[in-house]
Chains A and B, each alone.
Chain A
């Protein structure tokens, strides 16, 4: 039986999928996951989930349309032509911000 393993580095963070283990049951899965996925990494918590309990929908499934594939670069400021004065303004503000961060 395959158990998907999720590792959380610090309290409050998300548990992130990090691989899987073969184990006959939940208890052994937790025991094996500790060695395989947490022995050499800072870990606050581990989850194990039976692979069969995970439901999935994939990009190549008929009728499925995930986002992130159309060109939306017009939303990014770098895509615009701006006049010289405006660019200087941005540069100054950038410089001031870097300076302020350096002094923190």
Chain B
């Protein structure tokens, strides 16, 4: 339990504030961009039911992104600065969430969700006692929805892998996505990461979270007859060159960003309208 808990954004030192911002941006950007990709499945999923389930998950992730972006407005960012006016190069999500889906590659959506939501579960648990309390306060709401996401992904994985063709698709998606998922455990930069730990924002190091993630995902995939791309001694593959986070994004990201800001630009908007109340002041 952190002893130097802080609830007032104005009381943070500059270094602490920079670390909080860095953490919030990575959390929010992951959720936002993943939701954006998931919505591409709307009316295209294998069945009406799977369509609704994934759309529902996308909506959850958008809600979580909003909770995190909202905390950034406490540091005087406006909603347009956070999303629509922001340079795509400044986004710090892992490239895992920005990769496009091949046409009809449902196994990709399921594997991506499984790898992401397993990491998300560990990451959120480690933020439960964050020294900046507005972060800790929002964890419970998010975690309650994440359980469904994992159940959904795991149930689908089992069923896809029960069939040889389905398992081959899961294998291909795992080979492609697994190295990208490792970026979820990369810091945006070393200095802010050190403050995130010292200030007591996250109770575990990224390296420890990654180990725990590997100890869950590798055996599960193995049990389904899918070989995750880890070496015989269990060490994970190299990160891709463009892995997002603190590094470069793939060439797909500017395309996606242009798409999601298209209406904003076409309408010559210079700011966004806030349609929901600040969740902390809603009462």
B146 to chain A: closest CB distance in Å?
14
Q: Does any Cβ of A come within 8 Å of B47's Cβ?
A: yes
Residues of A within 8 A of B48 (CB): 22
Q: Is the CB of A36 within 8 A of B52?
A: yes
Of the residues B49, B151, B152, contact of A21 by C-beta under 8 Å:
B49
Does residue A39 face the partner (Cβ distance < 8 Å to B)? Answer: yes
Instruction: Give the residues from 20 to 36 in chain A that come closer than 8 angstroms, CB to CB, to chain B.
Output: 21-25, 27-28, 31-32, 34-36
Contact B52 A32 (CB under 8 A): yes
For B56, give the chain A residue with the smallest CB separation.
A35
CB distance from A38 to the nearest CB of B (A): 11
Q: When the two chains form their complex, are residues B148 and A23 in contact, meaning their CB atoms are under 8 A apart?
A: no
- Number of contact residues on A: which range applies? 10 to 19
Closest A residue to B55 by beta carbon equals: A35
Check B252 for interface membership: any CB of A closer than 8 A.
Answer: no
Known: A23-B49, A36-B52, A39-B56. A31 touches B151 (CB 8 A): yes
Q: Could you say which residues of chain B place their CB within 8 Å of the CB of A24?
A: 159
Q: Choose from B52, B56, B148, B155 the contact partner of A28 (Cβ within 8 Å).
A: B155
| Assembled-state Cα–Cα distance A31/B53 (Å) | 8
Produce 1/0 per residue, B143-169, CB < 8 A to A: 000001001100100010000000000
Contacts A24-B159, A28-B155 given; does A34 touch B52 at CB 8 Å: no
The distance from the CB of A51 to the nearest CB of chain B, in whole angstroms, is 14
Interface residues in A34-49 by Cβ distance below 8 A to B read 34-36, 39
Show 9 A/B contacts (Cβ-Cβ < 8 Å), sorted by A: A21-B49, A22-B47, A23-B49, A28-B49, A28-B159, A31-B152, A32-B49, A35-B53, A36-B52
Where the two chains meet, the residues of A that have a C-beta atom closer than 8 Å to any C-beta of B are: 21-25, 27-28, 31-32, 34-36, 39
Chain B residues close to A by CB (< 8 Å): 47-50, 52-53, 56, 148, 151-152, 155, 159
Q: Which 10 A-B pairs have the closest CB atoms?
A: A32-B49, A35-B56, A35-B53, A35-B52, A21-B49, A22-B49, A22-B47, A27-B155, A36-B52, A32-B53
